[in-house]
Structure 1
Amino acid sequence: MIREMIKKLFNDDAGVSPIIATLVLIVVAIAGAAAVGVLMGSFSSDVSSSSSSEGAANGASTELLIAGSTTVQPVSEVLAEAFMRENQGVKVTVQGGGSGAGISSTEMDIVDIGAASEDVDTVTTHPKLQQHQIGASGVVLIAKGVTSTTVVTPQEVKNLYNNVSSTGTVSAATANTAAGLTAAAPITVYQREESSGTEETFSKWASNSKTWMDDTNATGASGNAGVLKAVEGSSCAIGFVDFGFAEGSTSATLLDVGAGTSATTVKAEILKALKGESSTFPAGLTRPLNYLTNGAPSTLEQSFIDFARQPAQDALFDEVGYFSMIDIS
């Protein structure tokens, strides 16, 4: 019942932006099924343009709802488009919300397939879930108006975030002392405002704790896209995003965490690290891209997961700066 209500919320022709739909998903994942009845009275939504097709819009007979990690979202969107082209009559809706929302909404049976850019404990913590890896990626440190002449170490990152003031900034002098960074003005430091596999990966690399950043004063931004946009829109800022988001940026630059600052070189080193080969990119900043199902996948869910793992989809992963299962095998 809940799943059908949420699908109607995402697919109704009245149309609300994907941002509203994502916010609804997060609220439902946190608040639980009781929130659905209230939300249904206020919102309806169309499928985002990035995951719809003419054939599906003309009345799909079968639907899939995929939501969660904003890292996995870009590749899910291009996979959805390709899948719908090959399977007329199937409609695939893709939304973000963060890895935490992907895990929770899958457990609550709100979505068909959840997305998480982290390994999920399906033995003890989330025994109802099954995990299906479709690819992998890496987290990078980005900045604008901030430079470093040396490799930024985990300890320096920890020092930087621990010195963020209540205004969400670090003075140029403190940033230089704590992390060897150079800036002409106070640096706005960003983190994720929602439960995120990207943040957990970055936090564990810097401090050996997934939850360390919960206690920092860094300014929160929504999703990888939100952090990237915030850094790009600042005069002096620093943050972390998945490499796939940083690769296409025209104003944010990569800070060296071991593999240099050239996007081409960093991408090559991330792949080496993912394959277990000698690499200058920190292995701790790599992570899997996973789909989640509540128990064994249905026939349609399994078909989409298998489709995502096919060698033919390798180009789609490369298109968004990620690595397919073929790449990392």
Structure 2
Amino acid sequence: MNGGNFKMKKILSLALVLMLAVTMFTGCGSKPAADEQKPNEEAGLTGKVVIAGSTSVQPLSDELAAAFKEKYPEVSVEVQGGGSSVGVKSAIDKIVDIGASSRELKEDEKAVGLKEYVIAKDGIAVAVNPSNSVEDLTMEQIKKIFTGEITNWKEIGGADKPIVVVTREEGSGTRGAFIEITKVEGKDADGNTKDFTTSTALVQPSTGAVKQTVANTPDAIGYVSMGALDNTVKTVKVEGVEATEENAKAGSFKISRPFIYLTNGEESEVVKAFIEFVMNEGQEIVKEEYISIK
């Protein structure tokens, strides 16, 4: 009996050791499993975000939406155009989750109580050849150059040379912003919005092509997004203010504008998550072509 008891005790001890080992192994393994749940919980966010408004903001919204969907595959982000006024009105009427505007709100629009998120700044520098002696231009002079009313550099303090205007192709977001801000875009006799860029302008398909043309043409003038500037061209001041990101952020450089998201009332969880993404991680996307708010 004593030998049997000894064997039984040995078996029970061995079983206890095995149980403890299994418990410890399971317990240790549970911690990384809990950690692994975090990205799964993020990926589990569902819902839909509808954005409408500024066609200038639209391409950036498309990129931000695509990046957000990579992080949250179950979320749908629908981006529509229509213009800034449509974006503001759609937010006021609550027919979209987010209205997009590429201009400051008017006083009556602000009075409604919309929540504003400035997601980026768009700054566009006026660029000339480094050999050009002109240092500063007014907004009116810029408008007249690009509409063809001023055709010689001597009219604005430069050499007696014909001005070579360089512009982007139609449909370019940079062109759209530039002509709108500088009033090169206006109303025709029938009241329709029209681009009055001079027909003699050299049209280029990219920012790089504009820079190269201006750099290689002594009497050229063009416009370049601030994020793409380099020392191959010279920027002129606009009404005494240098074309820098700092001045664009401060609002003192006139050929700049905010990109704004607008919400009205309580935001859903998915809308909050999207805006938080845009204001933080999304700024890496913003600064590729625009001025980040960070």
Q: C-alpha displacement at 1:158, in angstroms?
A: 0.6
Q: C-alpha displacement at 1:150, in angstroms?
A: 2.2
With 281-290 and 112-121 compared, the bigger mean Cα shift is at: 281-290
Q: C-alpha displacement at 1:177, in angstroms?
A: 0.8
Instruction: Give the counterpart letter for 2:226 in structure 1.
Output: F
Relative to structure 1, the CA distance from residue 185 to residue 202 in structure 2 (aligned partners, 3 Å threshold; closer, same or farther) is closer
Counterpart check, 1:113 vs 2:93? no
Counterpart check, 1:169 vs 2:148? yes
Relative to structure 1, the CA distance from residue 239 to residue 274 in structure 2 (aligned partners, 3 Å threshold; closer, same or farther) is closer
- RMSD over aligned CA atoms reads 4.7
Give distance in 1, aligned partners of 2:249 and 2:166. Answer: 35
Instruction: Give the counterpart letter for 1:150 in structure 2.
Output: V
The equivalent of 2:290 in structure 1 is 321
The 3-state SS of whatever aligns with 1:305 is helix
Q: C-alpha displacement at 1:321, in angstroms?
A: 3.4
Aligned residues of 1:142 and 1:239 also touching (Cα < 8 A): yes
The equivalent of 1:84 in structure 2 is 69
The 3-state SS of whatever aligns with 2:287 is helix
Instruction: Give the counterpart letter for 2:247 in structure 1.
Output: A
The equivalent of 1:243 in structure 2 is 226
In the alignment, structure 1 segments of 5+ residues that lack a partner are: 1-59, 204-210, 222-226, 260-264
| Structure 2 residue corresponding to 1:125, chosen from 101, 109, 121 | 109
Instruction: Give the counterpart letter for 2:137 in structure 1.
Output: T
Give distance in 1, aligned partners of 2:63 and 2:161. Answer: 38
Q: C-alpha displacement at 1:101, in angstroms?
A: 3.4
The equivalent of 2:123 in structure 1 is 138
The 3-state SS of whatever aligns with 1:292 is strand
Q: C-alpha displacement at 1:241, in angstroms?
A: 6.4
Aligned residues of 1:139 and 1:201 also touching (Cα < 8 A): no
| Structure 2 residue corresponding to 1:69, chosen from 37, 51, 54 | 54
The 3-state SS of whatever aligns with 1:315 is helix
| Structure 1 residue corresponding to 2:196, chosen from 186, 197, 219 | 219
Instruction: Give the counterpart letter for 1:91 in structure 2.
Output: S
The 3-state SS of whatever aligns with 1:283 is coil
Cα deviation 1:3-44 (Å, max 9, x = unaligned):
xxxxxxxxxxxxxxxxxxxxxxxxxxxxxxxxxxxxxxxxxx
Q: With the length of structure 2 as denominator, give the TM-score of the two structures.
A: 0.56
The equivalent of 2:79 in structure 1 is 94
Give distance in 2, aligned partners of 1:150 and 1:88. Answer: 52
- How many residue pairs match? The answer is 227
Give distance in 2, aligned partners of 1:152 and 1:93. Answer: 42
Relative to structure 1, the CA distance from residue 119 to residue 228 in structure 2 (aligned partners, 3 Å threshold; closer, same or farther) is farther
Q: C-alpha displacement at 1:109, in angstroms?
A: 3.9
The 3-state SS of whatever aligns with 2:133 is coil
Relative to structure 1, the CA distance from residue 315 to residue 161 in structure 2 (aligned partners, 3 Å threshold; closer, same or farther) is closer
Counterpart check, 1:289 vs 2:259? yes
| Structure 2 residue corresponding to 1:159, chosen from 141, 158, 174 | 141
Counterpart check, 1:103 vs 2:103? no
Relative to structure 1, the CA distance from residue 192 to residue 101 in structure 2 (aligned partners, 3 Å threshold; closer, same or farther) is farther
Relative to structure 1, the CA distance from residue 218 to residue 78 in structure 2 (aligned partners, 3 Å threshold; closer, same or farther) is closer
Give distance in 2, aligned partners of 1:152 and 1:116. Answer: 29
